[in-house]
Chain A
C-alpha cells in the first residue's frame, strides 16, 4: 500500500529565509507526486506535481520540488519565504498508471513565518 511521511509537523522560518519541507513516500511502482497548500479555512490548492521527466519541477508561488527515486523523497523548496506562505503543506502520492485512483496524503507540515 502506498504511504507518505512528512516528518516535520511544524516548522518556523524567518521571512526571506530559505525553506525545505520533507516528504518521503512508499510506493511499489511509478508514483505520481503532489504538493498541496492549505490556508486557514480554505480547501487545498495544488502547488506542483511530478509525473515523469525532469525530476526538478516548478510550481506556483515560487515553489519547486525535486523527485529523488533513490531516496523515495519529494522535498518542497523555496529560496525566499514570504509571510503569506504561512499555511499547512501536504505531500501526496498517487498511482502512476492505469485509471484514476485515490491519492494518499501525508499528515501535513504547518509552516509559520516570522517577520
Chain B
C-alpha cells in the first residue's frame, strides 16, 4: 500500500519568506510526527499529533514554527519568516494508535534557505 508521502521533496526559499511543508500519512494511522534532521544533529522532534488529542508541540524551536492536521489526516508544517538555520530535511512519520507501534517515515522535504 501507499506509504507516507511528503511534498515538496525539495524547497529553496529566500530568507524571510514563509514555507509550507505537507505530509500525507498512511491511511488509518492516527499518530503523526514531524522531525527535523540537520547535518550531524540526528533527528530532532518537532511536534506530535495523536487522534483528537491536543498536539505535543514541545519540540517546536520557535513561534515561527506551527503545524496543523486537518481531519485527522493530512498535516502541514509552516515556517514563517524563514532563517538560514531552518535549512534541514523535515521528516514526517505516522503510526497506528498503539504506543508500541513503529513509525513509518516519508522521504522528507529538503529545505534550503538562501
Contact = CB atoms under 8 A, between A and B. Distances in A.
Answer yes or no: are A and B bound together in one complex.
yes
Contacts of B4: 43
Contacts, number: 66
Interface in B30-77: 31, 33, 35, 40-43, 45, 48, 50, 56, 59
* Size category of the binding interface on chain B: 20 to 34
Contact of A46 (B41, B43, B103, B106): B103
Interface string A53-79: 000000000000000000000000000
Given A42-B107, A43-B105, A43-B108, A100 B42 contact: no
Q: Would you call the interface of chain A mostly helix, strand, loop, or mixed?
A: loop
B114 interface: no
Interface in A66-115: 90, 92, 94-95, 97-108
Contacts of B1: none
Interface residues of A, number: 29
Interface in B94-113: 95, 97-108
Interface of B: 4, 31, 33, 35, 40-43, 45, 48, 50, 56, 59, 91, 93, 95, 97-108
The 6 closest A-B pairs by CB, nearest first: A43-B105, A107-B42, A105-B43, A100-B99, A44-B105, A46-B102
